Amino acid sequence: MFEPIILKNINVPDSFKIETYLNNGGYQAFKKALKLNTDTIIQMVKDSGLRGRGGAGFSTGLKWSFIPKDPTIPKYLCCNADEGEPGTYKDRAIIEKDPHQLIEGMAIACYAIGAANAYIYIRGEFALGADRLEDAIREAYSKGYLGKNILGSNFSLNIYVHRGAGAYICGEETALLESLEGRRALPRIKPPFPAQVGLFGKPTVINNVETLACVPHIINRGASWFASIGPAKSPGPKLFGVSGHVNKPGLYELPMGTPLREIIYTYAGGIKGDRRLKAVIPGGVSAPMLIEKDLDTPMDFDSLAAKGTMLGSGAVVVMDERTCIVKAALIIHEFFHHESCGKCTPCREGLDWIVKVMRRVEHGEGKEGDIDLLLKLCGDVFGRTFCPLGDGAVMALRGAINNFKEEFEYHVKNKRCMVNGAGR
């Protein structure tokens, strides 16, 4: 059994209080870091092989190293706590149960990149999480881990909590910056990248909650320790949120690269009622589905990419044999359609058209040629959108159609569902 690293305090009573955190070795990494050269820290994070847990899997150390060193330019860290991908609930656990772990990670990151102000952009619905963070930040100030001249050093840091503006797109890093600046959350053109022109036009690092939570452990236990967990190219502990038709849905911390089969059958207790697995989404709803034969795929960035899908946020959604894939695909597509920010033509108009066709296919009103039309539309959208949301939407749909084409065609031909028989 893998010994939890990020979730290690999670079941301790009052885990969210600073005393609990301190009693369990909290803020030692930060103390240690303050004595280190900032380049050393960035090198350590690079060497650890930590890759962003927000979905894209970009090297965290490398991202930090892009921030200009000029001390006269203000810099910012933004923690992306907008966690909105259906099936994903890992960051919430860290925020609500162990907020100091995040704050310590942020403090180290800010020290490393030279930021004196940091923001936590938290999903608006996370009311408890926001309160916990506010309290934890207050505690950290009073104990001297935040504020001016922290622990007698030259380093000063303020952290602010900003509650999100209620859309999935707010989690896209540049839309997040727009929203934080008080505008409509629409993604920005890249380049310039946030490392050059970010929040308020200044160099900015945006990191996911889980990414930042890894940082204190890397400082405490060393880069090579971290790099030794899981596959060499995508190492470290990873939180997997398993949901769907499993016996024990929940959040599991396992080494990267744990095979999907092990996650579902060993940890999540297998499929409910011992039914057969039909499909599984490995990394949040934009990740194309996998099927039974893919279950031995190791759950890490590269192995999943090789399978044409992605690790994304690590949200594993399991569907058993009774699931109507057409309906599942529609539900997922409705989500993207609803959340499209509307900025770019392919996503705004493409998803709208697709949803109309999908609805009629699902409702038994499909027409001949609809499946080809859907595939054509996916092709029209894919690779042409402004941000990854639109791409994700059509990748997910295309994955469903490619794996279960006959089921879609059945819907069109027979005006009813192949799995459940009924019209809808």
- From residue 211, alpha-carbon distances to 19, 80, 113, 415 in Å are 23, 10, 15, 46
Residues 6+ positions from 19 with CB-CB distance below 8 Å:
none
Residue 54 interacts with which of another protein, ligand FMN, ligand SF4, none, CB < 5 to 8 Å by class: ligand FMN
Site for ligand SF4 in 152-171 (CB under 6 A): 169
Q: Is 387 in the site for ligand FMN (CB under 6 A)?
A: yes
Q: Which candidate, 192, 194, 154, places its Cα nearest to that of 174?
A: 194
Binding mask 338-377 for another protein (x = CB under 8 A): xxxxxxxxx-xxxxxx--xx-----------x---x----
- Torsion (CA) 126, 168, 342, 288 in degrees, nearest 10: -160
Q: Is 334 in the site for another protein (CB under 8 A)?
A: no
Please tell me whether residue 136 adopts helix, strand or coil conformation.
Answer: helix
Minimum CB separation of residue 256 from ligand FMN in Å reads 14
Q: Which is nearer to another protein, 339 or 362 (CB)?
A: 339
Q: Is 387 in the site for ligand SF4 (CB under 6 A)?
A: yes
Q: Is 52 in the site for ligand FMN (CB under 6 A)?
A: yes
Q: Which is nearer to another protein, 161 or 167 (CB)?
A: 167
Give the orientation angle of helix 127-142 with respect to helix 90-97, to 10 degrees. 40
Residues 6+ positions from 116 with CB-CB distance below 8 Å:
74, 75, 110, 156, 157, 158
Say which amino acid occupies 403: N
d(C-alpha 98, C-alpha 79), whole Å: 15
23-29, long-range: CB < 8 A, 24+ apart = 25/220, 26/100, 26/101, 26/104, 27/100, 27/104, 27/143, 27/145, 28/220, 29/104, 29/108, 29/215, 29/216, 29/217, 29/219, 29/220
Site for ligand SF4 in 311-340 (CB under 6 A): 340
Residue 259 interacts with which of another protein, ligand SF4, ligand FMN, none, CB < 5 to 8 Å by class: none
Q: Which is nearer to ligand FMN, 215 or 319 (CB)?
A: 215
Residue 199 interacts with which of ligand SF4, another protein, ligand FMN, none, CB < 5 to 8 Å by class: none
Per CB under 6 A, which region of 156-164, 206-214, 386-394, 413-421 contacts ligand SF4? 386-394
Per CB under 8 A, which region of 45-53, 127-135, 211-219, 334-342 contacts another protein? 334-342
Site for another protein in 113-172 (CB under 8 A): 167
Residue 184 interacts with which of ligand FMN, ligand SF4, another protein, none, CB < 5 to 8 Å by class: another protein
Say which amino acid occupies 27: Y
Q: Is 378 in the site for ligand SF4 (CB under 6 A)?
A: no
In the structure encoding, which two tokens stand for residue 295, read together?
Answer: 């279950």
Please tell me whether residue 61 adopts helix, strand or coil conformation.
Answer: helix
In the structure encoding, which two tokens stand for residue 86, read together?
Answer: 């259906």
Q: Is 179 in the site for ligand SF4 (CB under 6 A)?
A: no
**Beta carbons of 381 and 391 less than 8 angstroms apart:** yes
Minimum CB separation of residue 184 from another protein in Å reads 6
Q: Which is nearer to another protein, 64 or 386 (CB)?
A: 386
Q: Which is nearer to ligand FMN, 84 or 235 (CB)?
A: 84
Q: What's the N-to-C CA distance of the chain in angstroms?
A: 43
Neighbouring C-beta atoms of residue 383, cutoff 10 Å: 11
Considering only residues 126, 252, 301, 386, which one is a binding residue for another protein as defined by CB under 8 A? 386
Q: Which candidate, 59, 58, 57, 55, places its Cα nearest to that of 44?
A: 59
Q: Is 187 in the site for ligand SF4 (CB under 6 A)?
A: yes
Considering only residues 10, 22, 34, 56, which one is a binding residue for ligand FMN as defined by CB under 6 A? 56
Residues that bind another protein (CB under 8 A): 167, 184, 189, 337-346, 348-353, 356-357, 369, 373, 380, 383-386
Residues that bind ligand SF4 (CB under 6 A): 169, 187, 340-344, 347-348, 385-387, 389-390
Residues that bind ligand FMN (CB under 6 A): 52-56, 58, 80, 82-84, 168-169, 171-173, 206-208, 211, 387-389
